[in-house]
Amino acid sequence: ALERDLQRGRCSSDNANRSVKHKSISSCPSPSRVTTKSKAITIERLQAELNDRDDLISELKTKLDDNSDSETGDLKLENIRLKEKLEQTEQLLNECRAQLHTRTLQASAHNSKN
């Protein structure tokens, strides 16, 4: 893009020189001044684009951090919920084992009486 802009600057400079052949040389812009002006405009435009992109990158980083924090919070809550469910399941399993053990002892005692 920079080369294209510089080329345009050169072409417009060449066209300007062709169309003003009858004018004195002092009234025609020198190619170096036109190129310098084109470079300055191009550099300013590129700097503005870079600044815009930097702003966009900063904004996206902020959004990403916010999403990560939100997801981390959601994952922590899900982790807590699953731990509570695991504890309840382990407690229920222990109760079932205790009942099974009691019934096994009762059945064993009943069978030994017979």
Q: In this predicted model, what pLDDT tens digit does every residue of 20-57 receive, in sequence order?
A: 444 444 455 555 665 677 777 788 899 999 999 999 99
Q: 52 to each of 1, 8, 45, 60, 103, how far by Cα in Å?
A: 18, 25, 11, 12, 76
Residue that the structure tokens 């980083």 belong to: 61
Sign of the CA dihedral 74, 79, 84, 86?
positive
Position 74 scores a pLDDT of 86
Q: Which domain holds residue 28?
A: 2-113
Please name the helix (run of DSSP H) or strand (run of DSSP E) that holds residue 99, with its range, or none: helix 31-113
Residue that the structure tokens 């080369």 belong to: 3
Q: Which amino acid makes up residue 9?
A: G
Count structural domains, the chain.
1
- C-alpha–C-alpha distance, residues 18 and 79, integer Å: 77
What's the predicted TM-score (pTM) here? 0.43
**Assigned token pair, 35:** 């190129």
